Amino acid sequence: MRHRPFTFLLVVSLLCAAAGSALAQSPEELQKRRQAIRDAMDPDAVMILRSAPPVGEAAFRQESNLYYLTGVNEPGAALILYAARRGGAATPAAGGPPAQAAAAAPAPGVAAAPGGGQRGGMRPQARTDVLFLQPEPSDAATVRGAAPAAVPAPTRPGFASVRPAADFQQAFETSLLSATSTVYLDYPRSRSLTAPLTAEEQWINAARDRGAAFTVKPASPLFAALRPVKSADEITTLKIAAEITAAAEREAMRSARPGMFEYQIQSVIEHVFSVNGASRPGFSTIVGSGKNSCILHWSTNTRKTEPGDVVVMDIGAEYGMYTADITRTIPISGTFTRRQRDVYEVVLKANEAAIAMVAPGVSMADINAKVNDVLAEGLIALGLIKDKGGLRQYYTHGLSHSVGLQVHDLGGANTVGVLKPGMVITIEPGLYIPAENLGVRIEDDVVVTETGHDVITAGAPKSVADVEKLMKEAGTEFARYLIKK
């Protein structure tokens, strides 16, 4: 089989590693994000964000909103964030058990008033955000029989108050008891009226039983208004994720040939990810050949490719917690058939027409309308439909979504409606003809700039000529790994 060294990938990996420290989001940027969230919260409100739970043996990945505000990708972390006081004045203590509990145990980050009351008199009390972290183990050597070395208190730049994660549960309960406005909390709900309550539901009910008066609202909608517009640091990280993903698309094009299993093509793709320091795919790698090219989210990747197949490769490397999302469609035999080329050119025309429209102030509805027109006209010319009303038979998904900390990031372009500088969106038209085992999707990631757009996935070829040319190059050699079965 064809062989190509991975020297170029190693070079890219070294460059990415060298840039890693510069890509870390600064404490100042994280503080700005926390302030923006505070400004969006109800007065007197508290927001509670908790670490993602561990998932078996899989590598840990932080809950996205918590990471967005803290930059912490460690298990056991949590954040309690306070909004401004109503009108800048003190809030009188509520009567009953909550006030008594608060007096006995002030809310985390809330200075106790003279006399022991949390909100005694009418003097405003400062409330400080609290970050909870697992303490790092001490490096100090211990002597047999001596007391264990003290574990240093956790610290983090940009946070005035950092406490051990072991303190979070009590702080969480105290925050509920002392809350007088809104508690922003994303938590699992019981699935039915007869199902047991989740732990969070029990805590909320217990606080209310003790007289606490607060409204619970989800936290994610506040983030959905902020996360679509990326900072310069976020865009830099996304560009590296896109470059790694484009390199994987190129190597898959070089290596693909009839008779390979979809999972073998997947292995080429994910090898390029790991060589370049991408910790994981941002989503399940999709390699759909033949009939599977018409299945939108096919990721089982078990089929053996056959001569004449097209292969849809929808992939994304996660780098620095941010993921890219690129789709390319290739002919497994190296050359498109006439029919495949005709369908492919319609999708490519729609992709390029949509990208050309991306700019600040442009409505996604207008871009969608343009794509629908291009695809419908192409299908009519191919004899597949008689009028535009038949488009959805062959175009079965949306055109765009935001990418970032999640592949379908919060507050997508279709939700926002109008494009703004700093947004990073996908453009991914497709056509699917199951009767012909022919699916084509072409997807790019596009940054909305101050004056137009920047296609950060341009490193993955997509013209018919460029795809076919690259597929003639030598790719990854599998012969040395394969065993006889």
Residue 484 — very low, low, confident or very high, per pLDDT cuts 50/70/90?
A: confident
Residue 365's domain is classified under what CATH number? Answer: 3.90.230.10
pLDDT value at residue 57: 73
Q: Which residue type is seen at 289?
A: S
Mean pLDDT of 442-452: 98
**Does residue 483 form part of some domain?**
no
In this structure, the number of other CB atoms found within 10 A of the CB of residue 283 comes to 17
Q: Which of 307, 231, 255, 70 is nearest to 165 (CA)?
A: 70
In this structure, the number of other CB atoms found within 10 A of the CB of residue 53 comes to 9
**Does residue 408 form part of some domain?**
yes
Residue 160: exposure state from Cβ atoms within 10 A (0-12, 13-18, ≥19) = exposed
Same domain, 168 and 238: no
Mean pLDDT of 191-205: 89
Using alpha carbons only, what angle is made at residue 19 by residues 13 and 22, rounded to the nearest 5 degrees?
Answer: 155
How far apart CA 265 and CA 261 sit, in angstroms, is: 7
pLDDT value at residue 416: 63
Q: And the tokens for 435? A: 């009767």
pLDDT value at residue 124: 41
Whether pLDDT at 125 is above 70: no
pLDDT value at residue 85: 85
Residue 200's domain is classified under what CATH number? Answer: 3.40.350.10
Whether pLDDT at 92 is above 50: no
Same domain, 310 and 430: yes
pLDDT value at residue 482: 87
pLDDT value at residue 88: 60
Same domain, 210 and 350: no
pLDDT in tens, 462-472: 999 999 999 99
**Does residue 239 form part of some domain?**
yes
pLDDT value at residue 136: 75
Same domain, 258 and 334: yes
pLDDT value at residue 8: 44
Domain total in the chain: 2
**Does residue 15 form part of some domain?**
no
pLDDT value at residue 55: 77
pLDDT value at residue 137: 63
pLDDT value at residue 317: 98
**Does residue 318 form part of some domain?**
yes
pLDDT value at residue 279: 84
**Does residue 199 form part of some domain?**
yes
pLDDT value at residue 159: 92
Mean pLDDT for all residues in the chain: 86
pLDDT in tens, 377-400: 999 999 999 999 999 999 999 999
Mean pLDDT of 408-418: 76
How far apart CA 127 and CA 398 sit, in angstroms, is: 44
How far apart CA 154 and CA 152 sit, in angstroms, is: 6
- 313 pairs with which residues across the strands? 287, 328
Same domain, 65 and 32: yes
Whether pLDDT at 28 is above 60: yes
Mean pLDDT of 66-84: 95
Percentage above 70 pLDDT, the chain: 83
Same domain, 97 and 180: yes
pLDDT value at residue 223: 96
Same domain, 311 and 212: no
pLDDT in tens, 220-259: 999 999 999 999 999 999 999 999 999 999 999 999 999 9
Mean pLDDT of 427-436: 98
pLDDT value at residue 14: 45
How far apart CA 138 and CA 419 sit, in angstroms, is: 49
Whether pLDDT at 130 is above 90: yes
Structural domain ending residue among the three candidates 203, 224, 245: 224
Residue 195 — very low, low, confident or very high, per pLDDT cuts 50/70/90?
A: confident
How far apart CA 120 and CA 103 sit, in angstroms, is: 9
Same domain, 387 and 287: yes
Residues 270 and 482 sit within 8 Å (Cβ to Cβ)? no
Same domain, 275 and 335: yes
Tokens 């264990």 correspond to 148
Same domain, 184 and 283: no
**Does residue 77 form part of some domain?**
yes
Structural domain ending residue among the three candidates 197, 224, 251: 224
Residue 151 — very low, low, confident or very high, per pLDDT cuts 50/70/90?
A: low
How far apart CA 198 and CA 477 sit, in angstroms, is: 51
pLDDT value at residue 478: 78
Mean pLDDT of 69-94: 78
pLDDT in tens, 256-308: 999 999 999 999 999 999 999 998 999 999 999 999 999 999 999 999 999 99
Q: Residue 67 belongs to what domain range?
A: 26-138+150-224
Residue 481 — very low, low, confident or very high, per pLDDT cuts 50/70/90?
A: confident
Q: pTM value? A: 0.86
Same domain, 172 and 263: no
pLDDT value at residue 412: 64
Same domain, 326 and 407: yes
Whether pLDDT at 473 is above 90: yes
Structural domain ending residue among the three candidates 224, 256, 290: 224
**Does residue 160 form part of some domain?**
yes
